Structure 1
């Protein structure tokens, strides 16, 4: 039985309601003391994510889509021992291809690796997610995008241990907040960068949340994304806000190699559009 799934797409805009979404609140700059001025020019300037390795754990990627002018490494978990092998099936759901498209739109020159853990119904087994996450941490990807979560309490402790391991290993996990007002993981854990949505159309508009648990908001409404097999569509949900932040972090890491999760959070907070 499936026991985790991607953050579900939201209903049509006419009735659109997302939990953990921006309410337009400003954050007092006095809450974010800085040793020096941090600007977007300093944070990433003209960086495109070149040389930064990003792991997308999701439903796979249609690497042949015209959106991906740079190659995407596509892998999956197989066998009883959950070995990482090349993915011969590809994205049967579209979710991973969409998230990959956003990452590449934000950081076109990043080195993107997809690990497929979700099937056509956007569901998967908890042990597969844990194995994929452990593999990505062991291979020291500087950034891991998780536009998915689980509500299963039996996975909470193992996930907590893994994301803490990532934090101390210098691996930053960017995780989607749930679209509904429920408690799920790992986005609730402070050792990840957690992301909800705002309604602004600007891809680089980000907000720092003065009332977490979701720490940042990025564009998540009506995002144009690639579809497996060709073409594009517009999708809404925190799943698609998250890769905006992942892409921006890739650009920061090109300019400032070695920045860890805490430093990336500080930079994102410093350049947030809702600072007063």
Structure 2
């Protein structure tokens, strides 16, 4: 029997009413700075969207996770170290094993107290997972030895991760973008960032804790290292790590009804005038104009044309790279729904 795992998500808040997340959100609160005082209240509405996206990343890895949302970032994704410290201290004696952070401090002169708080949380059996600041080699608390630091990269395959308990940033997690939740029951591609990578590892750890609730920080480190594709790597190894999407060229005849209908839906959603380019260029090219933010509009248009319902959280960037890959997604969805009527 699997045990319930409660995870604290410290971010911009979360959309507790989102159809995909509403059964996983067990509550929340916020910390903010008011006239030099740190105040707490129960309003954790996500005015940015980042926290809602991270919550759906975590759930994709472990659908039964229970998420307690803590809003420490404002609508522009900003906070200060005092807010973070007070938020972390609040959970010293609360019944949560797992804390996910997608925020960072760059200046190491300011982090002594933060390090001490993370140490106390570790002593209490808490496991903190934190993303490295995008574009930096070192940030805090990700680089602390009492925190699991995570960086995203494109690895050998989507299920790959590298792990070394001896490195400052212990985990390199594959971060191919997926459709993730946005406030207002919407979705967008979210990924190729360290926040997604941290959420992905948090979800994996939540699943592990559900099976082994007594697992310690040290035993978790050991197990993750055993599970990892690599335990040793250099920057050159990262630079050499590549994976290219399959554009599925010529998978469908150019007169195939499903291909033509899919192309029509894309042209309508993106308001394209010319028809030929959609078969020649990648959908994310400037010629076509697909972006991470308008993929949802394309999917909604396809749902209307084909009378289907997509499983959004399991759709990745690779499903959008060409008109053929998108047609294949439609075909598989049609087949699945036919088999499950």
In the superposition, the TM-score normalised over structure 1's length comes to: 0.75
Question: Residue 76 of structure 1 corresponds to which residue in structure 2?
Answer: 30
> How far is the alpha carbon of 1:177 from its aligned partner?
1.3
1:141 is aligned to 96
Aligned partner (choices 84, 88, 91) of residue 46 of structure 2: 91
SS at match of 2:141: coil
Structure-2 residue corresponding to 1:61: 14
Counterpart residue number, 2:172: 217
Number of aligned residue pairs: give it. 228
The alpha-carbon distance between structure 1 residues 202 and 98, as it changes in their structure 2 partners (threshold 3 A), is: farther
Partner of 1:184: 139
Q: Does the 8 Å contact 1:136/1:144 carry over to 2?
A: no
Q: 1:61 Cα deviation (Å)? A: 0.3
1:268 alignment partner in structure 2: 224
Change (3 A) 1:234 1:159: same
Partner SS for 1:82: strand
2-side partners of 1:86 and 1:213: how far apart? Answer: 34
Q: TM-score, normalised by structure 2?
A: 0.62
Measure, in 2, the Cα distance between the counterparts of 1:274 and 1:158.
33
Partner deviation per Cα, 1:57-107 (whole Å, 9 max, x = no partner): 1100011112114141121125756354311x6111111111111111111
- 2:209 corresponds in structure 1 to 253
Give SS of 1:145's match. strand
* Contact 1:197–1:241 under 8 Å retained in 2: yes
Counting helix residues as a fraction of each chain, which structure ranks higher?
Answer: 2
Gaps of 5+ in 2: 233-341
* Residue aligning to 1:33: none
Specify which of 86, 91, 101 is matched with residue 56 of structure 2.
101
Following superposition of structure 1 onto structure 2, how do residues 218-237 of structure 1 map, counting pairs within 5 Å? 218-235=173-190, 236-237=192-193
Q: Given that residues 61 and 204 in structure 2 are in contact (C-alpha distance below 8 angstroms), is that contact kept between their aligned partners in structure 1?
A: yes
Any unmatched runs of 5+ in structure 1? Answer: 1-45
Q: Do the aligned partners of 1:140 and 1:171 also contact (CA within 8 Å) in 2?
A: no
Write the distance in 2 (CA, Å) between the matches of 1:185 and 1:268: 21
Q: Deviation string for 1:168-199 (max 9, x for gaps)?
A: 11000001112113532111111111111131
User: How much has 1:139 moved relative to structure 2?
Assistant: 1.0
* Match status 1:239 vs 2:239: no
Question: Contact 1:225/1:232 (CA < 8 Å) preserved in 2?
Answer: yes
Contact 1:197–1:238 (Cα < 8 Å) also in 2: yes
Cα separation, 2, equivalents of 1:166 and 1:173: 8
Contact persistence 2:29–2:70 (CA under 8 A): yes
C-alpha displacement at 1:245, in angstroms?
0.8
Work out the CA distance in 2 between the residues paired with 1:138 and 1:178: 28
Q: Separation in 2 of the partners of 1:201 and 1:61?
A: 32
4+ residue runs over 4 A deviation: 78-81, 200-203
